[in-house]
Amino acid sequence: MADPTETPLPTASTPNTPTTLVIDIGGTGLKASVLDRGGAMTTDRVRIPTTYPCSPEKMVAQLEQLVHPLPPFDRVSVGFPGVVRLGVILSAPHFVTVHGPGSPADKKLIAAWDRFDLGAALTRSLGRPVRIINDADLQGLDVVTGTGVEVVITLGTGLGFSVFENDRLGPHLELAQHPFRKGDTYNEHIGDAARKKIGNRRWNKRMRRVIATLDALAFFDHLYIGGGNARHLTTDKLGPKVSVIDPNAGILGGLKLWNTPVR
């Protein structure tokens, strides 16, 4: 891996600095783009598949590969599918598995990811300051209006969850790992593997049950749904308090991360 002290990346020099590289880490794909000062993407989003087994070092190398063709940037925002505190990974449920989500976990990978300082590793690798937050939290930064209690869920490999109150980000909760119904967690009940197994019609029925449960839990004023599987929702049955959000929200929230206190 290149040492950024020897081969520094070019610094953006346009009037719209600082520019922000935003990376959206997912269980099946890694995505990135660069935002200008106003939060608009300066280039099309790039994507590569996530490959397994995925140690922290391999993840950093994959992200280097991902961002290599992108324009210069001054800082980095990262959305990560797990619990993150001050750039340190506390849980990485996808990446501790041997062959990806749904496959057995590996003890060596569990140990490798436990409290791995991904923020520091990417700062060294990319030569720019880095902030990391849970991926659902990052999407929420792009879409919440700042009015009342707003909940964001992401539907992809599993379920992402985030909650805001009057524009303030709440503590991150790993709702995906919580038991939901008949002994299944939310991930097991409505994750991508379940959707493919039972079909979109039954999956949509399950999703309506999940939404009703979340409303009873949080009494949200609005619920936003993002992630790749949001496109499979029957939107006319979701109700007036629910919106499907821009597929690029996981990128677009990266600008606001630099104005948000990071835990």
Per-residue confidence (pLDDT) for residue 5, from 0 to 100: 37
Per-residue confidence (pLDDT) for residue 17, from 0 to 100: 65
Per-residue confidence (pLDDT) for residue 232, from 0 to 100: 96
DSSP 3: -
Class of domain 138-246: alpha beta
| Residue the block writes with tokens 């991508």 | 192
Per-residue confidence (pLDDT) for residue 183, from 0 to 100: 87
Q: How far is Cα 199 from Cα 219, in angstroms, rounded to an integer?
A: 29
Residues of the chain where predicted confidence (pLDDT) is lower than 70: 1-17, 263
Identify whether the C-beta of residue 256 lies closer than 8 Å to the C-beta of residue 141. yes
| Residue the block writes with tokens 């496959």 | 103
Identify whether the C-beta of residue 35 lies closer than 8 Å to the C-beta of residue 98. no
Q: Which of 123, 125, 135, 12 is nearest to 65 (CA)?
A: 125
Domain with CATH 3.30.420.40 in the chain: 20-135+252-259, 138-246
pLDDT tens digits, 167-196: 999 988 999 989 998 889 999 999 999 999
Q: Which CATH number fits domain 20-135+252-259: 3.40.50.620, 3.30.420.40, 3.50.50.60, 3.40.50.11540?
A: 3.30.420.40
Residue 98, both tokens: 């041997």
Find the largest Cα–Cα distance for the chain: 56
pLDDT tens digits, 118-154: 999 999 999 999 999 999 999 999 999 999 999 999 9
Per-residue confidence (pLDDT) for residue 222, from 0 to 100: 98
Per-residue confidence (pLDDT) for residue 263, from 0 to 100: 65
Identify whether the C-beta of residue 256 lies closer than 8 Å to the C-beta of residue 142. yes
